[in-house]
Structure 1
Amino acid sequence: MATIRKRGQAWQVQVRRDGFPPITKSFRSKADADGWARETERQIERGELSGQGRSANRLTVGALLQRYEAEVTSRKRGRKFEASRIRTFLRSPLANVAAHRLSAQMVAAYRDERLKTVSGETVRRELTVLRHCIEIGRKEWGAPFAGNPVRQITLPSPSKVRGHRLPEGAEASLMTALTRTRVWYLRPLIMLALETGMRRGELLALEWTNIDLKARLAILTTSKNGHGRSIPLTPRAIAIISEIEVRDIRLFPVNANAVRLSWERLRKRAGLGNVKLHSMRHEAISRMFELGLSIPEVSLVSGHRTLSCLQRYTHIKPENVAEKLARLSVRSE
């Protein structure tokens, strides 16, 4: 509500609302003070004002991002990557802009400048962080945004599917190259990825206590999307796990960078060009469909929670479909 007081020769108005710092202004006439108070309250109700006031107007985009990193990013599983994106913003001129002055044109200028040096997907992910930061700021922290400038611009298009299936003969080349490596964990890691469709991080986090051979399950307490799941183990996967020597509480007590470097050396030795370790997941999920598993069954194994995400990992070979149709045609005759 608005409070109007006579102070000397002026009329002072103070508008107070829950979630907003007090907004104060002085006028020469009471009629002007009344009119400003009513208009200010209408703007707050319509969402056109958000946390205005001297203290709010001193808030910079950089300060808002730092609070977001401390209170929101720090609780995420991908905090390391998101913190890196926030540091990129903090090094940019955008960080020094007063939050209430941030415009869609400024965000678009940041986008265009970044696109000169990094991929569209990188810029898209950075702007997604800024967009969510502004939403939290304006809805929960009283940050002075009438709207969200990031929502007013066009984001770079999403990247194409990050991985693909293994090329013809690639698995045989991998197995041959694995016989010539001294890195003990590469063979079981790659074979388990092909059998289970598990991500690299999930395999590296897998502990012996997560393995239930009697129930034929690998139990993940958490994953990339924050949800745990139980992965059915094939007979081949069980055989691979049974052959791994217990060295630690984890099946693979190595870090992600060591795996990355070992994979790069193996990939070159196998002559696989740009094939990524993540391609094992694409291959595994595609094979599950070709074996006849249903969408819910494959989702249970892969951990995808939406059909659109699952489809990005599914690459059915047309020749396999043709062969299946031929078999069905024979049965129907």
Structure 2
Amino acid sequence: MVARYRDDRLDSVSGDSVRRELTILRHCLTLAKREWDAPLSVNPVLSVTLPAPSRARDQRLEADAGRRLRAAIGPAHAWYLLPLLELAIETGMRRGELLALLWSNVSLGNRTAHLPITKNGHPRTIALTPKAIEVLKALPQTEARVIPVSGNAVRLAWERLRERASLPNLRFHDLRHEAVSRFFEAGLTVPEVALMSGHRDTRMLMRYTHLRPEAIAEKLARASEGCFTA
């Protein structure tokens, strides 16, 4: 039954989604056996092969793609698209975190934003870049939430924006990959980037990091110049 479920689900969702679902089922059955004396001689999920994990996405927001996205946002389109785009890149926050952000948790004076509820259940406070502060200052503070729109509205608006910009494969979540990569390129350490992104597993943080070789080459060139002049 578990194997049939796996195969049926693979017809409609990704292998990673099936892996997550079976992991939850495995945990439930293990708990049932250990804590509730369920009559299970063996956990059936352990007897099937999980789908192979997909390759980590390495797509970043190239300069041309960024220009096309911004150019595709006209005055007649959703007002929140541009600030969402900018804040996602500048903060590394997830879409849900951006939409849940409250003005009461933003301190422009301290240049921080506090996220009491996050995907992994651990609250975090992130540092705001000068660009992020500029974007926030331009937004009206008329409601409790910084961007008072629904997740479904953002999803639909983003899909239309991708279409107008001819970027069908760009996901909103790719902006988080872009942000994490930029943090490292700016010289932040692993603990500092983890503080911003909320990653508690360094291996997962590395999956979000896609450094540009040319940026590393520039950094090496600057370091070489310093050694030479010294």
Query: The TM-score by the shorter chain falls in which range?
Result: over 0.9
Count of residues in Structure 1 that have an aligned counterpart in Structure 2: 228
* CA–CA distance in structure 1, aligned partners of residues 210 and 44 of structure 2: 37
Instruction: Kindly provide the CA deviation profile for residues 80-112 of structure 1, in whole angstroms up to 9, marking residues without a partner as x.
Output: xxxxxxxxxxxxxxxxxxxxxxxxxx4224323
Structure 1 residues 145, 202: closer, same or farther in 2, change over 3 A? same
Tell me if 1:147 matches 2:42. Answer: yes
Among 116, 141, 166, the residue aligned to 1:221: 116
- Structure 1 vs Structure 2: percent identity of aligned residues? 55
Tell me, which stretches of 5 or more residues in structure 1 are unaligned?
1-105
Runs of 4+ aligned residues of structure 1 deviating over 6 Å after TM superposition are none
1:250 to 145, 149, 154: 145
Tell me whether 1:315 sits opposite 2:210 in the alignment.
Answer: yes
Q: Which consecutive unaligned segments of at least 5 residues does structure 2 have? A: none
Superposition deviation, residue 316 in structure 1: 0.2
Asked if 2 retains the 8 angstrom alpha-carbon contact of 1:247 and 1:253, the reply is no
Secondary structure of the residue aligned to 1:169 is helix
SS at match of 1:139: helix
Q: Which amino acid aligns with 1:239?
A: E
1:52-71 alignment to 2 at 5 Å? none
3-state secondary structure, aligned to 1:231: strand
- Using CA pairs below 8 Å that are at least 6 residues apart, which structure has the higher relative contact order? 2
Matches within 5 A, 1:1-333: 106-162=1-57, 164-333=59-228
Partner of 1:19: none
Give the direction of change, closer, same or farther, for the CA distance of 1:232–1:270 in structure 2 (3 Å limit): same
SS in 2 for 1:178: coil
Give the CA deviation at 1:273. Answer: 2.6
Work out the CA distance in 1 between the residues paired with 2:142 and 2:156: 21
Question: Retained in 1: the 8 A contact 2:58–2:210?
Answer: no
Whether the 8 Å contact between 1:163 and 1:278 is mirrored in structure 2 is: no
Greater gyration radius: 1
